[in-house]
Structure 1
Amino acid sequence: MTQTINKDIPIPLYYQLKEILKDRIKSGDLRTGELIPSERELVEQYEISRPTVRQAVNELVSEGLLRKEHGKGTYVAKPKISQWFLENLTSFSDEMVEKGLEYSTKVLKKTIVSADSTLVEIFGDRYKSYYRLDRLRFVKNEPYVLVTTYLPVGTAEDLLDEDFENASLYKTLEAKYGLNIGYADRVIEAVNVTEEDAKHLGVDPMHAVQLITTKGFLEDDQLFEYSIARYRGDTSNFTIRVSYKSR
């Protein structure tokens, strides 16, 4: 592991420092939640300028390896969980099992609600009532994502009797109710979390979260689900595979 900066090679000094800090994080020399050396300490240790140090640190913050706290310093960030959630239609539990991560679910609310203007806009006026399911998903015992799901009551009888703390919604709909789930449309945006959601997610109010809305369709193109997921921005990122098409 290189711990010195070589000023005689054509590699930029900020990049060398950035790689040194990356190596120290990966090796465990700098651990999650630990305060890294101050800007002044890095300047003195590596005999480089403050702008060089700032550029290296700012890039690591942008990459999610470091996080800054105003008035306190710069800390090693928690590793983010990378998901293919936007590309693959799979259950949360299946993806966590595939990654070998410990996870759990807490059901916050199971109820039947009347159609409102938002649901009518999404589903049309065909349905008068909907199941509403609010679940808080944990990874490694920490809040990870808060999901609110709406399904027309006619989709599945007695759905609220199911144990969704231990069972997958999609697997239940397929195995017990015979639905053939086909595909989904998803939209992602960054928003500031509401005060209520912040309490569930364990973050400060106005903290940035990744908001993902999902419209789930059956194989016959029937819309059966509308979900709103609020992912903590400090613990997750998403990967999308994009295909190139020439004209």
Structure 2
Amino acid sequence: MAGRTLDRSGSTPLWQQLQRSLLDRLAAGEFSDQFPGELALVEEYDVSRSTVRQALRQLRADGVIVAERGRQPRVAPVPEIHQPVGALYSLFASVEAAGLSQDSVVRALDLRADALVAERLGLEGSAPLVYLERLRLAGGEPLAIDRVWLPAAVASPLLSADFRHTSLYGELATRTGIRLDAGHEDVHAIVPSPFEAAQLHCPAGTALFAINRLGLSQGQPVEWRQTLVRGDRFALTAEFTAQFGYRFTQPQTG
């Protein structure tokens, strides 16, 4: 087996470099059949067993691998994130409910104008809007590209919020007193562009859910949201009976 080189002169600890290397190889699908054991990694990377164990300990803590005493580590199955049809859900809450850590890379948080979005929100075309764009991560891996517009007249307090580890709806309620209570949403499947596929680390052939949502509070439009979600990690669910049809779930807005 050919050895792999780590940077022994830099400031990054060897176990962190090893962890990053293993994550990159996992994302590339290299360990789909079997994850290497400790001794194999010691030989391949030319590091101590304690270095390997520290890297694996963090991968276990993040839910990436499963390693039981006396057994070889294995790749943990990726939990599928379920959203109820007909419920006003929070992606933040749903990711955490699946047992995954929830983080975001904030790409934009600013004021801007968008005539088309303003029209959807019932505003004049030049009305200022709070715009938030995030790459949503679940368990450290990309899950969704999320873009949201809100009327600046009510949502400007959000401009000082840190959305790396918190939910939009939670901050909206805390900072403005506004809670969404209704809305309209349409969902359709799309083929990702090369840029979108790269951003979301999509395996070849993976489709995306494209979700457009108009969120309301007491009958007034408050949110226009466009979300692209990996189809291999996201599912829509509904319950129904022969007599009453679909039974919609109560809103989740945490």
Q: Give the structure-1-normalised TM-score.
A: 0.62
Runs of 5+ unmatched residues, structure 1: 1-31, 36-75
Spell out the pairing of 1:12-27 with structure 2 (5 A cutoff): none
Structure with larger Rg: 1
**Which residue is 2:62 aligned to?**
none
Secondary structure of 2:196's counterpart equals helix
Structure 1 position 105 matched with structure 2 position 104: yes
Question: Are the aligned partners of 1:110 and 1:131 in contact in 2 as well (CA < 8 Å)?
Answer: yes
Match for residue 231 of structure 1 among 229, 232, 250? 229
Letter in 2 for 1:105: S
Letter in 2 for 1:109: A
**Which residue is 1:147 aligned to?**
146
Question: Are the aligned partners of 1:91 and 1:170 in contact in 2 as well (CA < 8 Å)?
Answer: yes
Residues 195 and 131 from structure 1, CA distance in 2 versus in 1: closer, same or farther, beyond 3 angstroms?
farther
Cα deviations by residue, 1:144-164 (Å, 9 ceiling, x for unpaired): 111101111112233211101
Spell out the pairing of 1:162-173 with structure 2 (5 A cutoff): 162-173=161-172
Identity %: 22
**Which residue is 1:67 aligned to?**
none
Secondary structure of 1:181's counterpart equals coil
In structure 1, how many angstroms separate the alpha carbons of the residues matched to 2:241 and 2:180? 24
Structure 1 position 126 matched with structure 2 position 124: yes
Secondary structure of 1:166's counterpart equals coil
**Which residue is 2:90 aligned to?**
91
**Post-superposition shift, 1:131?**
1.2
**Post-superposition shift, 1:89?**
1.9
Spell out the pairing of 1:14-53 with structure 2 (5 A cutoff): 33-34=32-33
Secondary structure of 2:166's counterpart equals coil
Residues 184 and 125 from structure 1, CA distance in 2 versus in 1: closer, same or farther, beyond 3 angstroms?
closer
Question: Are the aligned partners of 1:156 and 1:177 in contact in 2 as well (CA < 8 Å)?
Answer: yes
Counting matched residue pairs gives 175
**Which residue is 1:240 aligned to?**
238
RMSD between aligned residues = 2.9
**Which residue is 2:183 aligned to?**
184
Letter in 2 for 1:144: L
Letter in 1 for 2:228: R
Question: Are the aligned partners of 1:186 and 1:214 in contact in 2 as well (CA < 8 Å)?
Answer: yes
Letter in 1 for 2:181: G
